[in-house]
Amino acid sequence: MNHKTPFILMLKVLAIATLLSACSVVPTSLPTTNLVTCPPPQALALSADRVLRYYTCLGTLPASDVASEYHAVSLSFSETGSNSDRLKLAILLSLPDTEFHSTAAALNLVKNMPAGPEPVPSTLPDLALLLSVLLAQQQHADDSISELKKELSDEKVHSDFLQKKIDAVKDLEINLIHRDQP
């Protein structure tokens, strides 16, 4: 499986979200790589800009810190069920090369995002829609890859069977040639 494909899809999501958020007047700050300041404060709703900074920050963290963040966000989502935590959890689940990677679970989270009221107007539903389209494409690609891997495995078994037959025919020819010689 090519693990760069989910990364490329996430980059596309981030690029589109950046373009969407560029139209709004939002004070920006430089992204930080400190895990403590990566996640947005709990009292604030996520904006497209904050989602991008969050994803960027996750990419700079070691695997152990990403796993810790996943467990913290998962716990927070189970307690609050907020759309912000839902989107953060979906982003974490869509990260490639992690022990908790699950495109299907991430897709399920963003597809079933309730239209509940957020404290302030949010672009989360738009980001969730975009992310759901990209995750659906990724899920389809993953399914295709799995299917192709199974077909390749079946062909390998068939190829090995045919190779054994060829080797048996060669051995038979060699035995016949040696038998005819004095």
**Tens digit of each residue's pLDDT (9 = 90 or more) over 113-126:** 776 555 545 666 77
Mean pLDDT over 76-88 rounds to 85
Please report whether residue 180 resides in a domain.
Answer: no
Most confident option among 8-12, 111-115, 164-168: 164-168
Cβ atoms 138, 103 nearer than 8 A: yes
- Residue 32 in any domain: the answer is yes
Q: Is residue 59 part of a domain?
A: yes
Does residue 171 lie within any of the structural domains?
Answer: no
Taking the alpha carbons at both ends of the chain, their separation in whole angstroms is 57
Q: How many domains does the chain have?
A: 1
Task: Look over the chain and give the mean of its residue pLDDT values, rounded to a whole number.
Answer: 77
The pLDDT assigned to 38 comes to 58
pLDDT at 58: 86
Is 31 within a domain? Answer: yes
pLDDT (0 to 100) of residue 120: 47
Angle at CA of residue 172, ends 168 and 178, nearest 5°: 145
Tell me the per-residue pLDDT of 25-54, one tens digit each, with 9 for 90 and over: 444 444 444 444 455 544 455 677 787 788
How far apart are alpha carbons 58 and 26 in whole angstroms? 22
Residues 85-105: tens digit of each pLDDT: 888 899 899 888 888 888 888
149 falls within a domain: no
Domain of residue 100 covers 4-142
How much of the chain exceeds pLDDT 70, in percent?
A: 69
Q: Would you say residue 163 lies in a domain?
A: no
Residue 151 falls within a domain, yes or no? no
**Overall pTM surpassing 0.85 (yes/no):** no
What is the per-residue burial (b if ≥16 Cβ within 10 Å, else e) of 6-42?
Answer: beebbeebbebbeeebeeeeeeeeeeeeebeebbbee
